[in-house]
Chains A and B, each alone.
Chain A
Amino acid sequence: MTRRLDISDLTKAFGAAPPVLGPLSLTLDGEGITAIIGRSGSGKSTFLRCLSGLETPTRGTAMLGGKPIRPAEVGFVFQEPRLMPWLSVRRNIAFGLSHLPKPERARAVEAAMALVGLSAAADYLPKQLSGGMAQRVALARALAPRPDLLLLDEPLSALDPLTRERMQDHILHVAQHIRVTILLITHDMDEALALANRVIVLRGPPGRIVLDVTIPEHDPAYAFPRDRTSAAFQAMRRRLIDALEPAPVALAR
């Protein structure tokens, strides 16, 4: 069982400028993927960076299992792979494992590589990898320390459509095979609906939750892999679009 993530009144402002995020409250209980969608400037990346410790929230708290989140409990995948170009795939994946004894570290790396299908590429350098493979290394690097919370900051947006779809399969595979709470940021509604069991729509600035829907897991219409052409999928998609883009009041007037 994963630990509960409680976010309460989280607010972030940069300097004296008006806040870009919040106040935002949210509880995540259990495994699976929660997708956060929003337009540019809705504060979704800032939200994730506050959870990861890259930014310090101006106000509010984020607790994991009742305690403030520690960096060791969080895995983070950025928009770009951000691999260390001088390290092999294996050593990139071991990047967050230096506290472990060697045999344990090797086991954790092997497990993470197997999870994303990279075992054959262990000794290659980042310059020898395709974009999709590099992003899988980044995913494995985030997973290797066995985090409780995996934060994905638009990890697929730089990939071509075909690679993106295969990468979505990898993320789904991870969500189904290890115990981890996943927060996925995306601006792609279809991606959110194809992967998540909960979708949250942010609108801002300052970023606030305008829609929070739980996808009915036991409804056969939403069984994985999801049929993107089904009526249920399309209806849900419509709801998200409406939430992202409010009715153009100014024009109607």
Chain B
Amino acid sequence: MAEHSVTAAALTARHQTAGSAASVRRLPGFGWSVGLIVPIMVLLLWQLAAGGAWIEADLLPSPATIAQTFWAMVQDGSLANDILVTVYRLALGFVLGTAAGTVAGLLTGALPLARRLLDPTLQALRSVPSLAWVPLFILWFGIYDTSKVILIAVGVFFPVYLNLMAAIAGVDRKLIEVGRVHDYGKLRLMLRIQLPAAMPLYLTGIRGGLGLGWMFIASAEMMGANNGLGFILTNGEEIGRPDQIIVAILAFAVLGKSTDWLLARTAERLTDWQDKLHPETGA
């Protein structure tokens, strides 16, 4: 019994240490709002410069004009519509790319023969710039959504594939041996040791994939679309509306950051067993 109380006390002590370290890291009264200081300063300077006519409104409209354009696009529903279209394409491409990257990563991570067969080819394809795929995909899959979704999937695929392959192949031999002394077969080793151990790096890959997905969707929609945020960009260029372009850029930034934050939070929850010095939400 004395043993148990000592154990409990030791645990409590460790918890308290961890708790106080966390509170030191967090600045009281600020938190995530610190990240807003720079954008607000830039915005103020920009408005001042535009008000003083130091910059040409035809090239760079004032924040107030952009806000008006934004509001108009919100009210006529066009912004929401374009965002939905873009998010829909991204989501499809993301799911497709993640699924393909997961299958390829599992195969090449677990089977050295598959790695020797597939990895060199995939690595070569990885070096192809995203825009280079566009003409081919349009020829193959048409000008509509399919070619765009496939292009996004290609972007998402590589980070997922590379990270999962490295994670599975690099699982600590010492943990694998624990499975082997418990008579684990290959499948159980994979399910109970390799996959959970690979999870942090896999999630990093998915996060990287989503980031690339956002970049690829901009390329895809700029190459030939009649809706979506990428279309607003090219359309803004054609009709000479920099305010519209900036609204689309800001929408990309906000959406990209929010989806990344969401993924980072989910990843952190799934891997809170890691003994990390600085928990990083990416917020």
Spell out A's residues near B (CB within 8 Å): 52-54, 70-72, 74, 76, 78, 80, 82, 84-87, 95-96, 98, 117-121, 124-130, 133, 145
- Structural contact, A130 and B14, CB atoms closer than 8 A: yes
9 tightest CB-CB pairs across the interface, nearest first?
A127-B275, A117-B3, A71-B183, A96-B182, A76-B181, A86-B273, A120-B8, A120-B4, A86-B196
- Closest A residue to B10 by beta carbon equals A130
Report chain B residues within 8 Å CB of A82: 174-175, 177-178
Report chain A residues within 8 Å CB of B3: 117
Within the complex, the shortest CB–CB distance from A123 to chain B, in Å, comes to: 10
Report chain B residues within 8 Å CB of A130: 10, 14
With known contacts A54-B177, A54-B181, A95-B178, A85–B275 Cβ distance under 8 A: yes
Chain B facing A: main interface SS = helix
Chain A facing B: main interface SS = loop
Number of interface residues of B (CB under 8 A): 28
The answer to the question of B7 belonging to the interface, with a C-beta cut-off of 8 Å to chain A, is: yes
Contact of B7 among A71, A120, A127, A145 (CB under 8 A): A120
The answer to the question of B11 belonging to the interface, with a C-beta cut-off of 8 Å to chain A, is: yes
With known contacts A85-B273, A124-B11, A128-B14, A119–B4 Cβ distance under 8 A: yes
- Closest B residue to A118 by beta carbon equals B7
New A-B pairs, 11, CB < 8 Å, besides A52-B181, A128-B18, A129-B11: A72-B183, A78-B178, A85-B274, A85-B275, A95-B182, A117-B3, A120-B4, A121-B7, A121-B11, A128-B11, A145-B182
Assembly CA distance A76 to B192 (angstroms):
18
Contact of B175 among A84, A117, A128 (CB under 8 A): A84
A-B contact pairs, 13 of them (CB 8 A): A54-B181, A71-B182, A71-B183, A84-B193, A86-B197, A117-B7, A120-B4, A121-B8, A121-B11, A124-B11, A127-B273, A128-B11, A128-B15
The answer to the question of B199 belonging to the interface, with a C-beta cut-off of 8 Å to chain A, is: yes
- Closest B residue to A52 by beta carbon equals B181
Within the complex, the shortest CB–CB distance from A244 to chain B, in Å, comes to: 28
Report chain A residues within 8 Å CB of B274: 85, 127
Report chain B residues within 8 Å CB of A124: 11
- Closest A residue to B272 by beta carbon equals A125
- Closest B residue to A127 by beta carbon equals B275
Report chain B residues within 8 Å CB of A54: 177, 180-181
Assembly CA distance A121 to B174 (angstroms):
24
With known contacts A78-B177, A119-B4, A130-B14, A84–B182 Cβ distance under 8 A: no
- Structural contact, B181 and A120, CB atoms closer than 8 A: no
Report chain B residues within 8 Å CB of A86: 196-197, 199, 271, 273
Contact of A53 among B174, B180, B196 (CB under 8 A): B180
Within the complex, the shortest CB–CB distance from B81 to chain A, in Å, comes to: 42
Within the complex, the shortest CB–CB distance from B10 to chain A, in Å, comes to: 6
Assembly CA distance A130 to B15 (angstroms):
12
